[in-house]
Copies of this chain bind each other. A is one copy, B any other.
Amino acid sequence: MSSDISGYIKNKIHYLNVRIYYEDTDFTSVVYHANYLKFSERGRSDFLRLVGINHSELITQEDAGFFVVLNMYSEFLQSSKIDDILSVKSSFTSLSGARLNMRQDILKDNKVIFKAITEFAFLKKNGKPRKVPDNIINKIEPYLF
């Protein structure tokens, strides 16, 4: 099974494959619930990367800032196990002012096993919210649903 390490975008949706390792599981023999948030964050980071927004650049440029999670609704529909390959699907659902909204689904064998609806704020380095800069808006907008 081959895949680009940063995933790929198709019809405005970003796809990233994630392998389940020892570190992801717990003693109940399935993946620890909080780790689906990590997989979702990996998907988002790679989506942003592919549209031209790198974390390492965001914090070193003059206009430095971060997206932070404001709130999240998540459903844990089925479990996954060691050796599984999951597919993280990410899409931008809205962007306005200092707010970005995303929908993410994690699939195993083409069945959704986790989904999350997440709202982000863009913060300046000092922790204060600010309007998302235009150069970032311009990169995300073509992928908005």
Contacts and interface: CB of A to CB of B under 8 A. Distances in A.
Interface of A: 1-6, 17, 19, 21-23, 25-30, 32-35, 37-38, 41-42, 45-46, 49, 54-56, 59, 66, 68-76, 79, 81-83, 85, 127
A68 B76 CA distance: 9
Q: Taking the full assembly, how many copies of this chain does it contain?
A: 4
A27 to B, nearest CB: 4
Contacts of A21: 38, 41-42, 45
29 contacts: A2-B2, A2-B3, A2-B4, A2-B5, A3-B3, A5-B17, A5-B19, A6-B19, A19-B42, A21-B42, A22-B26, A22-B27, A22-B32, A22-B55, A23-B38, A23-B42, A26-B26, A27-B81, A27-B82, A29-B29, A33-B68, A33-B69, A34-B34, A34-B38, A49-B83, A55-B83, A68-B79, A71-B74, A72-B72
A113 to B, nearest CB: 12
